[in-house]
Amino acid sequence: MRLLLVATLAAGCSRGPAQSTSVEQNLRHIGMAYDQTSKKDGRLPRSYEELKPALQRFGDPEAILVSPNDGQPFVIHWGISIFRPGPTRGVFPILAHEEVGVDGKKYVLDNMLGVRQMTEAELDQALRANK
């Protein structure tokens, strides 16, 4: 029993940074990196390349920037401020979303770092809040 516990602890300690394995996790990491980059640089990020250094703490930036659902890079809407309400009460601007999604739905990340699924019509309506 003690040997099993020691082996389990050793295996857990020997791993490097955890790799993102889900769409939700990848989107949250993108949001946190976006926020960290904007604070560090004093302006909102403008490209995937600017996010990559901040994403490294979560794992492989190239893998995080791709949806495991549809295999496509996430669409990021540059110029969206984090943790600020949108112009319409209760509607939060969309920071990032899946390009294709699965079964008619796409995972989206709003500027409050909330993750949920939306249909194409819902996403189109939500993206109007970005303007």
User: Is there a domain that residue 4 lies in?
Assistant: no
Give me the pLDDT at residue 128, please. 85
At 131 the pLDDT is: 75
| pLDDT at residue 16 is higher than 60 | no
Q: Examine residue 118 and state whether it is found in any structural domain, yes or no.
A: yes
3-class secondary structure per residue, the chain: CHHHHHHHHHHHHHCCCCCCCCHHHHHHHHHHHHHHHHHHHCCCCCCHHHHHHHHHHHCCHHHHCECCCCCCECEECCCCCCCCCCCCCCCCCEEEECCCCECCEEEEEECCCCEEEEEHHHHHHHHHCCC
Do the domain assignments include residue 72? yes
**How many independent structural domains does the chain possess?**
1
pLDDT over 80 (residue 107): yes
pLDDT value at residue 89: 65
The verdict on residue 109 lying in a domain is yes
124 phi and psi angles, rounded to 5 deg: -55, -45
Q: What is the pLDDT of residue 84?
A: 80
Within a domain: residue 10? Answer: no
Identify the pLDDT of residue 55: 98
Domain, as residue range, for 122: 18-128
Residue 14 has pLDDT above 90, yes or no: no
pTM exceeds 0.85: no
* Maximum alpha-carbon separation in the chain: 59
Q: What is the pLDDT of residue 11?
A: 38
Note the pLDDT tens digit of each residue in 32-68.
Answer: 999 999 999 999 999 999 999 999 999 999 999 999 9
Residue 26: inside a domain: yes
Has residue 68 been placed in a domain? Answer: yes
